[in-house]
Structure 1
Amino acid sequence: MNQLVYKDFEAFRKLEGEQLPVGDWIMITQDMINTFADVTQDFQWVHVDVERARKESPFKKTIAHGFLSISLLSKMLMDLITVESAVMGFNYGLNKVRFPHPVMVDSRLRLHSSVTKIEEYADNGLKITWDCTLEIEGIEKPACVAEFVSLMFEG
């Protein structure tokens, strides 16, 4: 996938209302799930107990935390777009978040997204609303559907 590169905010603003290229696949490993559990202190057996999941889960595998999936949105968007004049960006919030299908260990995810809205923010910033859907390879329902809102600032 080729990254979209914009020189400055003026060029980037033209992306409002546009669909972005589909992102690259990311494999969700048990190590990622375990690390996320360590950081968030969420050790539910459906995430971290491989043997119990094999015996008791309807999926017969561990599943990723829903918030692990959504936490990948920043990285996935940064993989798709660069604004050269931007000096920093922040997560602003999430709207309408849903997790329609669990992400089983060793599944691959990729991002389908568009820029819904670009608004002025402060003196040198933009507030961007992204429409995001995380596709699970081989599964009809997505892992996550959300409006993701971020801030970006020029130097």
Structure 2
Amino acid sequence: MVIINNYAEFESHLGKEMGLSDWHKIDQAQINLFADATLDHQWIHTDPEKAKTDSPFQKTIAHGYLTLSLIPFLWKQIVKIQNLKMEINYGIESLRFAQAVVVNSEVRLKVKLASIVNLRGVTKANIGISLEIKDEKKPAFTGEVVFLYHFED
């Protein structure tokens, strides 16, 4: 795990891969909970019987936004940012979904510090992300997420 206490420590990782999270299994229970939370009960996510016959994947698939929602959880397995007043999810840039995540797949996050800037005492970090799917060549998605970090003085 990478530990960061301030802007200078964060900046030392510029252009470098920062690590990989643990594998996380996305099961049907998690997919169903996400469907309930977002009111998105499309059968391709929530109906295993229909998916067997009508889906090109022959299984249910995780919502794309479910896979995105795992970013903070998986990011915190890779990097521990200390000495903070506050952190903010600020944006997502150039995101592309490349492959569906079928039920019971395991995924992990791969990250690289793409850019970092000090905005009058606020650290803006663009993190290159790729959500890998175990035993698959293509990732679920690639892109950049943007976080704002307010370090203590």
How far apart are residue 130 of structure 1 and its match? 0.6
What letter is aligned with 1:139? E
Partners of 1:35 and 1:87 in 2: CA distance: 31
Show the counterpart of 2:104.
106
Residue 10 in structure 1 maps to residue 11 in structure 2: no
Unaligned runs of 5+ in 2: none
CA distance in 2, matches of 1:149, 1:129: 5
- 1:93 corresponding residue in structure 2: 91
Q: Give, as a single letter, the amino acid of the residue that structure 2 aligns with 1:41.
A: L
Structure 1: which 4+ aligned runs deviate by more than 4 Å?
none
1:128 equivalent in structure 2: 125
Matching residue of 1:41: 39
Count matched residues.
Answer: 152
The answer on whether the counterparts of 1:9 and 1:85 sit within 8 Å (CA) in structure 2 is no
The letter for the 2-side match of 1:26 is: H
Q: CA deviation at 1:89?
A: 1.1
| TM-score (normalizing by structure 1) | 0.93
Post-superposition offset of 1:79: 1.3
Deviation per CA, 1:38-58: give whole Å up to 9, x if none: 111111000001111112111
**Aligned position for 1:69:** 67
* Equivalent residue runs for 1:50-69 within 5 Å: 50-69=48-67
CA positional deviation for 1:126: 0.6
Quote the Cα distance in structure 1 between the aligned partners of 2:36 and 2:53. 23
TM-score, normalised to structure 2's length?
0.94
Code of the residue aligned with 1:43 in structure 2: it is: H
Percent identity of paired positions between Structure 1 and Structure 2:
35
SS in 2 for 1:129: strand
Aligned mates of 1:29, 1:90 — CA distance in 2? 28
* 1:16 CA displacement: 1.4
RMSD: 1.2
Write the distance in 2 (CA, Å) between the matches of 1:9 and 1:83. Answer: 10
The answer to which of 95-104 and 73-82 deviates more is: 73-82
SS at match of 2:20: coil
